[in-house]
Structures are given as C-alpha cells and as structure tokens.
Chain A
C-alpha cells in the first residue's frame, strides 16, 4: 500500500513495524511528530519524558529489560541526553535501542546549527541516514536488527528536510514482535559501570567498531549508482536528492550507513571515477573521513558548510567549481529583501503578551512607533530568557528578552549575573514545559545559594511552540490518558521558596502589582503567570473594537505587538476575525483613553 508520509511519520511507522514497544521523547522541532505518530499505537508504550536525558534513560532501561525501544529528539536534545547515550554505548543494550536525532540545518526553529553526526565518533556507535520517507521507513527495522546484533545503540540522523517532507512510501511490512522474553538479565559486569567494569567494556566497544566497519562494506544501505565515470559523487541524507537532481549524469556512491565508513567501498568507487566529490549538508563529516584514507576528494570547497542546502545552492557550488557546463543561474530580482518581513509573532490572545508588556514597561524598554531608540543599556531590568514561543518577545515592540541560550538556562544565567554583581534587577523568564524540562535544578541552586532574582514561570498549560504536547504539569500522558499532574506552586514552595505569587495572565493590574512586589523582594521570588494558550483553547467572543471618537492615536495598544491590532491610514483598528475578545481584553485594560471595548451585538 502506498502512502504519502512525512519522514517523521515514516520513521515512527518503521519503528512500529520493527516491533518497538517503548518510545520516549521530549518535543523539539523537527523531531516532535515521531513520538506523536508512535503514540497513536495502543500496543506501544509512548511517553513525553520531562527531558531528553530522561527519555534516553527510559529507553535504555526498556532495552536492558529485553524490549525494543526508541528515543527521538532534536539535535540539541542529544546534547541534553549525551550522558546516558555514552552509557548506552558503554554497556550495550540487550534488546534493540535506536536513537533518532533530527538536526536543523538552516536553523528553522532552533538556537543553533550543529551536525550531530560528530557524536557517533565520540560514542563509537553506528550512524544511519535516510534520504526520503521510504528509506526512513525501511531502515528502522535494519537499525533495530543492527542494534541487537552488535549490542549497541544506533543513531539515525534525520534533518528538518527529511523529517518535514512528505514522499511516497510503500508500506510493505507488518508489525513483528521479537520472541525474546521480557525480563532483565542481571549482569553486573555489563550493566554496573564501576571503574573496574567500565574498563572491561572498553575493548568490547573497540572490537564492536571493527565489526561494524566490516558490516558497512556489504550493507545494502550503501550502494553505487553508476553513471558517467568522469564524476563520482559521495553523498548521504537529503543531499543525495539535491545532488541527483543537479548532476543527472554522474556516478553516485549513496551511503545510508555513514559511520563507520565502508572504506573499501569508497576506495573502489574512487578508483573507478576520474574525479570524486562529496555533497553533504553542514560539516565535512564524510569528506574528512574519506580524506583520512588518503583519498583525494573535495566538497566543502564549493558546497557551503553553513545552512541548509537545496538544489539551487548545490547547483551554484557546482558551477563555481566548474563541475557543470552551462550558464550562471538566472539573476535574482532581490525583491524579497525590499518587501516587509513577516517574522512569527505571539498570537492574538497569547497569555505571554501581558506579562512581557509589564516587564518591558517597567524596564523602560518598549519602543513607541517612530520614537527614537532608547539605549537598552539604560534599562533598569535585565531579563534572561528561555526557549519557547515567548522567545518571540525579544522582537520590538516588546523587546523584553536579553538572553536565550538553551533549555533551562534563564535561571542559572540570572543567578550568575546577580552573583557577578550587576546593579539591575534580574528576572528569569521560563515556560512551564521548559521549567519542568530543566528549570528545576537551577531553581534549587538559586535557593541553595541565595540568589536574589525573580523567576517568572509562564504557565500556559502546554508545550505550545512544538504544537501543544502535554507535559508533567498537564496531567495527561502522550497517549491521552489521565495521569498525575505536577503542581508548579507546590513544587516551588517545596523547594523552600516563600515568595511565590500566582497571577492571571490577562489581569494587567495584578501582573503589575506582582512584578513590582517581587522586584522589591529581598529574597528569591517566583511569579507563576497562568493563562491557557489561545491556540489550544480557542474561545472567541465579543471581539474588541476601537471607538474612533475617543481614540487619539497614542499608539499604546500597538506596543503589545498583537497581530489583531492594525492600522489603516493612521487609524488603529482591531481585526475582528483575529481578536479573541472577552478571553483576553489586555488592549482594553491598557488603553489610556478607554477607547477600546467589546463589539456591541446588533
């Protein structure tokens, strides 16, 4: 049966058919839909873990216990999970364990760009890379078999363009469950990594790598597609598709297993072509491994190592390198650089808008339209930020964020600034899901080390940015079952924090008063700003309208950055199809002329 599946759907279905029984993940673009897809199968245990490290440990425990397990995460999620990933490599896995890392070349929705292929050299584990959804589906069964045969976790590397592209998949298999018994085979020398035991595992890991290298030579995932012998192209992942399109006549060494490298296969291919190049996305991972064999090869000399590739970029590189006959690409109009940009925004009715308006106002950071830029250095407030929709409050007019590094960093950074001795008040802003992911331990640190900071937890009751996944605070599991909810106020009070305020996200007066009191507090303080995500709870009633008689065009409402508040010929108006109405009313509360009110029903 042929279906149009995204790479993520295909990876999930492939894992399901390969008999996976435990799957764990934390949401992260572009990997999120893998766990979402697999959670739909009732005969799989699928969970949103609090973070990727926990997900890796859950999967490792399941694999130890004889059950095929899966972890899916975005590239930076593997940074979080590296400790247990290294442990998994050291102990081996018993039943198959596959880790899918979805990298984000081009930084569509991430804080950095990193090539996670490098991790397999550190961890000494095999690496598989699909080039489309069919390969993604097919190679999951292969990955689980390989994991068991070589007693190793296997890393499958996807990218945004693989995960988020749909292509045709012939769904040829059915779910096969391993006949092995569920149960943990005690074996201290394999599973308890005391130094003496860990030393015993070291040669096992090196021998495993040698066996995997031999396996790679004959793997059906690596294949040669002969064309003209004047140019040979080594490639993997999505870059294969671009290269096939740009070089229709060349010969290809298409690698699906990219580590350990099939050295003899590469040598053979190199000996059969006049010139060999590598086309790969991000770092010269294949290129450097091939160069280490003493083989002359080029690639990154003309294929960029920064950003996402596409056929135009590969073509331009090929033309510059003299690999393609033909004219230069068509001249660009460069129209796009002259048109107004359309960056993503906080939604109409977003529960984050009010608190950022308050913080930004108190910190003297808001920028009136047409007003001169105030130097942010003069702001009396420093706001360390975190990762979520709310990072968008960095943009004007709110201009309400000074740092964003990685998940959970806001609190530790705020503490560090305060301990460094800055005069400013320091506020850390973090979402509910991010707080549970990795904000708890730094907050404990702030308690322990008596950090005089204010921590604002934006509790919108969901993991919004990645598409509304549940988390420990929601009390609903990844498979939609009722479970225990972690209560944020109990949690922070339990840490020993006395100054805890819970505020309605749409009550501007209460927000102002809470922020003022917390900033004046001599102790560590926490404000939980609670309001459900407007997209997830689409309540709409009585959209607000502007009374043009009262409105004096002061522009205060525009400082919210609400997409529903627009201007036409100098007059502010509210787009009634976008405004959520009674649910929000923030603009009405801040209007100095009381010119905003509900639509009067006719």
Chain B
C-alpha cells in the first residue's frame, strides 16, 4: 500500500493511545513498515494527547512533518482544530462531534470555538471532513469508553486492511470481559462511518 500518515488526537483518558497502537499492529500484521509515537502531558488525565502513526514501505521519522498528515482522527472537536497545520492539503478528517471544554473555558478565561469555527479551521487544509457522533453512539452501547473502538471502526474504512485483522488485534489487546462491547463499537463505527460515506 501507499504510505499513510495518520494523526490520532484527543484528550487524556479517551483511549487514543490504545487505538493508535492497534492501527500500528494491524499494519505490521499486514506486512507494512510502521512507526508510531505518542505525545502526552505529564499527568494521567485531561491533557491533549496526540499519536503519530506512519505506515508504508519504509518509514524514517516517527513524527510526521507539518503539512504531511493524510488522515486525522480526532476524538474531540477542539483537538481536531488544534493540529490543522499538520494536515496536508486535501487530507481527510474524521471528527467526533463532542466537546470536552478545557478548564480555562470552564473558568471563563477562554472561549470554546463553535462548530462553524472548527469546520472553518479544518477546511483550510482538509479536503473531506466527517463529523460523527461517536460519544453518543458509544453511550448507546452502554459504555462510553468504547469510543476509541468506534473511532477505529470509522478510521478502518480508510485503510485497506481486512476487517478480521482488526478483530484479531482487538482480541489480543482488549480484556475479555469488555471485548464484545468493544467489537460492537468497532462494528457500529464502521456502519455509521459508511452511512456518512467515509471511504
């Protein structure tokens, strides 16, 4: 396959790192060279999290150059807008239509951008932008923490890997007592992603 550079972003605690790990593992299983790296703050929860995942014949740097990202998968709206400079012109953005306002917003010091502003920021670079209701769908499944697998289901529509490979990886990486609900979230992400014509 061609080289694919992906950015997976969100807020600490949303499961960004597990999701991006799994993209890397599936790509390796498919015979690709892979590098991935995470940048996160110093605490356990609440900070910005960003994962770079690079897949291809041969990958040098684990960090993607600015204007180099092909696919952005954002678990939170503000964290989608924040990384716009990293998108290449025409990039694809899958954005969870969910806001987690930072403390500065709660304290009234800063303003959370509205949906039009976020879409406007992304449109400066992205070719296709898909807003999906991942958090709502994960809640309907009874476990909001399956959001990451839902997002992975959406993202899998843009990657040429067999569905079974994703599920094998999930079986390896996810505890058995929550495996079924996570697989259901992945499947729902794929289905609802298709509904909005991701791919």
User: A residues touching B (Cβ–Cβ < 8 Å)?
Assistant: 2-4, 29, 108-109, 132, 161, 164-168, 238, 241-242, 244-245, 310-312, 315, 329-330, 332-336, 339-348, 369-370, 389, 391-392, 396-397, 464-465, 467, 535, 558, 561, 563, 565-567, 577
- CB of B11 closer than 8 Å to a CB of A: yes
Residues of B within 8 Å of A, CB-based: how many?
Answer: 55
Check if B42 sits within 8 Å of A345, measured CB to CB: no
Check if B37 sits within 8 Å of A244, measured CB to CB: no
In Å, the complex CA distance between A529 and B48 comes to 29
Per DSSP, chain B at the interface is: loop
Of the residues B35, B61, B101, contact of A166 by C-beta under 8 Å: B35
| Distance between B124 CB and nearest chain A CB, rounded to angstroms | 6
**B17-50 interface code vs A (CB 8 A; 1 in, 0 out):** 0000100110010000111111101111111100
Check if B84 sits within 8 Å of A335, measured CB to CB: yes
Listed by A's residue number, 19 A-B pairs whose Cβ atoms lie within 8 Å are: A4-B34, A4-B36, A108-B42, A165-B36, A166-B34, A241-B60, A241-B62, A310-B61, A311-B68, A312-B65, A334-B85, A335-B84, A340-B78, A340-B102, A345-B47, A348-B45, A396-B107, A465-B43, A535-B45
Identity of the chain B residue whose Cβ is nearest the Cβ of A107 in the assembled complex? B42
Leading 8 A-B pairs by shortest Cβ distance:
A344-B41, A344-B43, A344-B47, A340-B110, A165-B37, A165-B62, A109-B42, A245-B60
Check if A335 sits within 8 Å of B43, measured CB to CB: no
In Å, the complex CA distance between A315 and B64 comes to 12
- A563: chain B residues at CB < 8 Å are 45-46, 103
| Distance between B28 CB and nearest chain A CB, rounded to angstroms | 5
- CB of B121 closer than 8 Å to a CB of A: yes
Check if A167 sits within 8 Å of B35, measured CB to CB: yes
- CB of B128 closer than 8 Å to a CB of A: no
Check if B47 sits within 8 Å of A342, measured CB to CB: yes
Of the residues A342, A348, A467, A558, contact of B48 by C-beta under 8 Å: A342
- A341: chain B residues at CB < 8 Å are 102, 104, 110
Contact of A465 with B121 at beta-carbon distance under 8 Å, contacts A161-B62, A345-B47 already known: no
In Å, the complex CA distance between A4 and B47 comes to 26
In Å, the complex CA distance between A341 and B28 comes to 34
8 extra interchain contacts, Cβ-Cβ under 8 A, other than A311-B61, A335-B121, A341-B104?
A132-B35, A241-B62, A329-B67, A333-B125, A342-B78, A344-B12, A344-B41, A467-B44
Q: How many A-B residue pairs have CB under 8 A?
A: 160
In Å, the complex CA distance between A396 and B102 comes to 13
In Å, the complex CA distance between A29 and B65 comes to 24
- B110: chain A residues at CB < 8 Å are 340-341
Identity of the chain A residue whose Cβ is nearest the Cβ of B102 in the assembled complex? A342
- CB of B161 closer than 8 Å to a CB of A: no
Check if B121 sits within 8 Å of A333, measured CB to CB: yes
Check if B63 sits within 8 Å of A310, measured CB to CB: yes
Check if B42 sits within 8 Å of A29, measured CB to CB: yes
In Å, the complex CA distance between A374 and B34 comes to 51
Contact of A311 with B65 at beta-carbon distance under 8 Å, contacts A166-B35, A332-B85, A369-B109 already known: yes
- B102: chain A residues at CB < 8 Å are 340-343
Check if B47 sits within 8 Å of A343, measured CB to CB: yes
In Å, the complex CA distance between A370 and B102 comes to 16
Of the residues B44, B59, B82, contact of A389 by C-beta under 8 Å: B44
- A397: chain B residues at CB < 8 Å are 107
Contact of A339 with B81 at beta-carbon distance under 8 Å, contacts A108-B39, A563-B46 already known: yes
Of the residues B41, B47, B85, contact of A333 by C-beta under 8 Å: B85
Of the residues B11, B34, B101, B124, contact of A167 by C-beta under 8 Å: B34
| Distance between A438 CB and nearest chain B CB, rounded to angstroms | 19
| Distance between B17 CB and nearest chain A CB, rounded to angstroms | 10
Identity of the chain A residue whose Cβ is nearest the Cβ of B118 in the assembled complex? A339
Identity of the chain B residue whose Cβ is nearest the Cβ of A567 in the assembled complex? B106
Chain B residues 77 to 120 lying within 8 A of chain A, measured CB to CB, are: 78-79, 81-85, 101-113
In Å, the complex CA distance between A334 and B121 comes to 10
- B11: chain A residues at CB < 8 Å are 342
Contact of A333 with B42 at beta-carbon distance under 8 Å, contacts A340-B78, A343-B47 already known: no
- B136: chain A residues at CB < 8 Å are none
Check if B35 sits within 8 Å of A165, measured CB to CB: yes
In Å, the complex CA distance between A256 and B4 comes to 29
- Please indicate which of the listed interface residues A166, A315, A336, A345 has the most CB atoms of chain B within 10 Å of its own CB: A166
Of the residues A4, A344, A567, contact of B28 by C-beta under 8 Å: A4
Check if A339 sits within 8 Å of B103, measured CB to CB: no
- B124: chain A residues at CB < 8 Å are 333, 335
- Please indicate which of the listed interface residues A4, A334, A342, A392 has the most CB atoms of chain B within 10 Å of its own CB: A342
- B144: chain A residues at CB < 8 Å are 577
In Å, the complex CA distance between A2 and B59 comes to 16
Of the residues B38, B39, B65, B106, contact of A315 by C-beta under 8 Å: B65
Contact of A168 with B78 at beta-carbon distance under 8 Å, contacts A109-B41, A310-B63, A344-B47 already known: no
- Please indicate which of the listed interface residues B24, B38, B62, B82 has the most CB atoms of chain A within 10 Å of its own CB: B62
| Distance between A246 CB and nearest chain B CB, rounded to angstroms | 9
In Å, the complex CA distance between A346 and B106 comes to 15
Identity of the chain B residue whose Cβ is nearest the Cβ of A367 in the assembled complex? B107
Check if B82 sits within 8 Å of A335, measured CB to CB: yes
| Distance between A400 CB and nearest chain B CB, rounded to angstroms | 15
- A347: chain B residues at CB < 8 Å are 43-46
| Distance between B131 CB and nearest chain A CB, rounded to angstroms | 17
Contact of A242 with B60 at beta-carbon distance under 8 Å, contacts A347-B45, A563-B103 already known: yes
| Distance between B70 CB and nearest chain A CB, rounded to angstroms | 15
